Amino acid sequence: MEYSKEEISDRLIKALNVTASCFLILTAISILTRNPTTKTVVIYKEKVRHHTKVVNHYDTVVSYLKDVEKFSSKWYNCSSGNKTIGYGTTLNCYPELKTLSSMSESVATEYLKLEFNKCLDIATNDGIKGTQALAVASFIYNVGVPKYMKSTLRKKAKNKTAIDKEFRKWIYSNGNVMSGLIRRRMKEVEIYHKDGLL
């Protein structure tokens, strides 16, 4: 098949445009992979823009999580043996952080909000609304998604059944009652009964 000079020129231009677009996409992926903070900020801004419009007390709960999680700029092993940094951010959840030797407080806050928003999405997808969703999201942030998914607390929350007692069951670590977990569950019960709309 033969093409005119104009057709050949047009095809070359289109091919160059496609190549340039692919190059830009690959470059962006490379940057995001090398810089996990950039990736986090993009996702974080989108999530927060959604949730802060519709949830009262969101910032209060995030501040509370920062208080109880405590900030660490360096890696450490949490009580469950997971490598952790920032405000409870684990390497298991964010393997792209393995190259970091330290984390700033501002970046740690971004990761906390990113993870909390994931927990909030899980709660709202279960049909839990308002500050009840915030309380359950705080609970998920602490115990982890797998334990929440299998919990009686989740079943009762989905069925709109009172779950105060279910919160208070989760006060053990390695078989021992922890005063910090007692305070945390009490706070989540308090949040659960605040006013707030989704």
- The sign of the CA dihedral 174, 128, 70, 90 is positive
Query: Whole-model pTM?
Result: 0.70
Average pLDDT along the chain: 78
| CATH entry 1.10.3720.10 includes domain 55-70+104-192 | no
Q: What is the pLDDT of residues 137-159, one digit of tens each?
A: 999 999 999 999 999 999 999 88
Higher model confidence: residue 143 or residue 1?
A: 143
At 184, is the pLDDT very low, low, confident or very high (cuts 50, 70, 90)? very high
d(CA 61, CA 87): 14
| Mean pLDDT to the nearest integer, 170-180 | 90
Look up residue 45 and give its two tokens.
């801004």
d(CA 75, CA 97): 10
Q: CB–CB of 75/83 below 8 Å?
A: yes
pLDDT reported for residue 30: 41
Kindly write down the DSSP assignment for every residue of 108-166, as one continuous string.
HHHHHHHHHHHHHHHHHHTT--HHHHHHHHHHHHHH-HHHHHH-HHHHHHHTT---HHH
pLDDT at 189 over 90: yes
| Mean pLDDT to the nearest integer, 186-196 | 85
Nearest CA-CA partner of 141 in 161, 159, 166, 121: 121
Nearest CA-CA partner of 89 in 17, 141, 18, 29: 141
Each domain of the chain, given as residue ranges in start order, spans: 1-34, 55-70+104-192
Q: CB–CB of 58/134 below 8 Å?
A: yes
Higher model confidence: residue 27 or residue 84?
A: 84
Q: What is the pLDDT of residues 3-39, one digit of tens each?
A: 554 554 555 445 444 444 444 434 433 433 444 444 4
| Mean pLDDT to the nearest integer, 164-174 | 92
Helix locations, the chain, DSSP H: 5-34, 36-54, 58-69, 105-125, 130-143, 145-150, 152-158, 164-169, 179-192
Q: Which amino acid is at 27?
A: T
Nearest CA-CA partner of 189 in 158, 166, 155, 159: 166
